[in-house]
Amino acid sequence: MPLGGILRFVDKNGRCNVQHGNLGSETSRYLSDLFTTLVDLKWRWNLFIFILTYTVAWLFMASMWWVIAYTRGDLNKAHVGNYTPCVANVYNFPSAFLFFIETEATIGYGYRYITDKCPEGIILFLFQSILGSIVDAFLIGCMFIKMSQPKKRAETLMFSEHAVISMRDGKLTLMFRVGNLRNSHMVSAQIRCKLLKSRQTPEGEFLPLDQLELDVGFSTGADQLFLVSPLTICHVIDAKSPFYDLSQRSMQSEQFEIVVILEGIVETTGMTCQARTSYTEDEVLWGHRFFPVISLEEGFFKVDYSQFHATFEVPTPPYSVKEQEEMLLMSSPLIAPAITNSKERHNSVECLDGLDDMTTKLPSKLQKITGREDFPKKLLRMSSTTSEKAYSLGDLPMKLQRISSVPGNSEEKLVSKTTKMLSDPMSQSVADLPPKLQKMAGGAARMEGNLPAKLRKMNSDRFT
């Protein structure tokens, strides 16, 4: 049930299900904007106020003419031949009422007319003209605005009965459909979406109708619609979406409402029109897609509105985008998550296997050096004793240096063989060198006496 199982915030026809109560003294604000108040009233109240206002105004002005005739004595002297009344042929209240109607409606039958012997009647006539113009402007203007409101234009703007969630362009997407039944266009049509969902803040405050924005293409301009044919509006569910952790299973227990607002300018009248609808969690179909409604005929495109609300099932993962990203991280070989001791040892063995593959591409002398059997075994022992750290390939050379520096290890022989291999190209005779290099070699021999004993021994072994 939407929003706590009571009522939806916005009905399918766009009516907002909200009532304002306990206004108290704030009701006087409605009278300060009387024109808007009258326009917002229902038609039956508008017609009642329209008729009542004209009736009261006519009776009031007719009474004023009758009072003038009564105070002047025109009612008793109307049939005297040489007497000039204020208003000719006004004998009673009905005749005064008819005179007012003839004057207000500018009918002018010519039988009843005001004379120049009545200054108070001239003043009342001016007041009647001004008051009648104000009443006409107010009431007729109110009725005109009421009739020209584009609310009925929204009746020809359609929304799909359901929203759907499925994959589009490789992304999980919330979609719904809008359409325009008239041939006249909606100029500058724009669509917006709001998510109404109750939540509780970390401070403990409960928000019963928290409004969140659903991006339907604001950054890309996709929210600006060319509404000639039915369009499918898309909201991509990503890390910024309120539906980031929504899955097919969690949607069964969720309570939310999606409010859709479509705005545009009516092409024929130039007035702004707004159409609204909403989708609750029960009206969102997971793993569905809309049927196509546009087909190409001979020389035109045909829209089949019988399929406007129809959907069909498509394969869609039942997981949320957050769960899909977590599964992708777990299965990706390029990202190393937190690993256990057994996984560390397995990764070390894999690194050694990679090194064995690399040795087949080395020169023959280096293959002999790296082909020792005890070389990978010692690396494996090293990786198993340091289970609290995950080693990368960039750490292996440093570990090799540490192993070779430990006294008593057989790797000392490996270092000596490597040094000997590297010194083979340097073992040529000094006599083959140019004179300047021979002098440098002689200087190097004189510097040998200043070296430590181990280095002198290494030099003697290298040049013999």
Segments in 117-205 forming alpha helices (H): 119-148
- The stretch 389-406 carries a mean pLDDT of 43
Give residue-wise pLDDT tens across range 269-287: 888 999 999 999 999 999 9
Question: In 10 A of CB 294, how many CB atoms?
Answer: 11
Query: Looking up tokens 């070296």, which residue turns up?
Result: 451
Taking alpha carbons only, the member of 233, 43, 215 closest to residue 157 is 233
Q: Same domain, yes or no, for 119 and 188?
A: no
How confident is the model at residue 90, as a pLDDT?
Answer: 85
User: Considering the entire predicted model, what is its pTM?
Assistant: 0.60
Question: In this model, does residue 390 exceed pLDDT 80?
Answer: no
Give the span between the Cα atoms of 242 and 198, in whole angstroms.
Answer: 12
Nearest C-alpha neighbor of 212 from the set 192, 238, 232: 192
The reported pLDDT for the residue numbered 55 is 92
Q: What is the pLDDT of residue 279?
A: 95
Lowest mean pLDDT among 178-182, 233-237, 446-450: 446-450
CA distance 208 to 210: 6
Q: Is residue 408 part of a domain?
A: no
Residue at a domain's end among 149, 171, 192: 149
pLDDT for residue 293 is more than 60? yes
Residue 406 domain-assigned? Answer: no
The number of domains in the chain is 2
**Helix axes of 93-104 and 119-148: crossing angle, nearest 10 degrees:** 60
Domain presence at residue 372: no
CA angle 305, 308, 314 (to 5 degrees): 145
Which residue would you say has higher pLDDT here, 385 or 18? 18
Residue 410 confidence (pLDDT) above 70: no
Alpha carbon distance 287, 315 (integer Å)? 6
Domain boundary among 307, 327, 347: 327
Q: Residue 416: is its pLDDT beyond 70?
A: no
The answer to whether residue 318 sits within a structural domain is yes
**Both 132 and 177 in a single domain?**
no
One domain for residues 40 and 189: no
Give domain status of residue 59, yes or no: yes
Q: Is the pLDDT of residue 149 over 90?
A: no
* CA–CA separation, 65 and 417 (whole Å): 133
Segment among 6-15, 101-110, 298-307, 341-350 with least mean pLDDT: 341-350
Whether the CB-CB separation of 171 and 241 falls below 8 Å is answered with: no
Whether residue 241 is found in the same domain as residue 321: yes
User: Of 309, 327, 345, which residue is a domain's last?
Assistant: 327
Q: Which band of pLDDT confidence, cut at 50, 70 and 90, is reported for residue 324? A: very high
Residue 48 parent element (H or E): helix 43-72
- Residue range 301-316, pLDDT digits in tens: 999 999 999 999 999 9
Q: Do 197 and 311 lie in a common domain?
A: yes
List, for residues 86-134, the tens digit of each pLDDT value. Answer: 888 888 898 889 988 888 887 877 788 888 888 888 899 899 989 989 9
Q: Same domain for 264 and 292? A: yes
* Domain region containing 193: 152-327
Do 304 and 181 fall within a single domain? Answer: yes
Residues 6+ apart with CB under 8 A from 350: none
Residue range 44-77, pLDDT digits in tens: 999 999 999 999 999 999 999 999 988 888 887 7
DSSP-assigned states of every residue in 262-327: EEEEETTT--EEEEEEEEEGGGEEETEEEPP-EEE-SSSEEE-GGGSS-EEE----SS-HHHHHHH
Q: What is the distance between the alpha carbons of residues 186 and 199, in angstroms, rounded to a whole number? A: 36
Sole residue written with tokens 């050694």: 352
Whether residues 162 and 268 share a domain: the answer is yes
pLDDT at 412 over 60: no
Same domain, 115 and 157: no
Q: What is the CATH number of the domain that holds 199?
A: 2.60.40.1400
Amino acid letter, 46: N
DSSP state of 37: H
pLDDT greater than 70 at residue 250: yes
Q: What is the pLDDT of residue 365?
A: 44
Residue whose pair of structure tokens reads 């190393």 in the numeric block: 336
Render the burial of 117-147: b for 16+ CB within 10 Å, e for the rest. Answer: ebeebeebeeebeeebeebeeebeebbeebe
Mean pLDDT confidence for 427-454: 50
Q: Is the pLDDT of residue 264 over 90?
A: yes
CB atoms closer than 10 angstroms to residue 426: 8
- What letter represents residue 61's amino acid? M
State the Cα angle at 41 between 35 and 44, rounded to 5°: 125
pLDDT at 20: 84
CA–CA gap between residue 45 and residue 48 (Å, rounded):
5
The answer to the question of residue 98 being in a domain is yes
Q: CA-CA distance, 37 to 33, in Å (whole number)?
A: 6
Which CATH number do you get for residue 34? Answer: 1.10.287.70
* Helices and strands per DSSP (H, E), number in the chain: 14, 14
* CA pair distance 220, 193, nearest whole angstrom: 15
Question: 78 with 164, same domain?
Answer: no
Using CA atoms of 136, 140, 141, 145 in order, give the dihedral in degrees to the nearest 10.
Answer: 170
User: What is the average per-residue pLDDT within 418-432?
Assistant: 44
- Phi first, then psi, for residue 16 (nearest 5°) are -80, 125
Residue 144 shares a structural domain with residue 162: no
CA distances from 54 to 43, 48, 66 (A): 17, 10, 18
Report the pLDDT value the prediction gives residue 168, as an integer from 0 to 100: 94
CA dist., res. 26 & res. 21, Å (int): 10
- Residue with the bigger pLDDT between 40 and 422: it is 40
Is 227 a domain residue? yes
Whether 158 and 172 map to the same domain: the answer is yes
Residue 430: inside a domain:
no
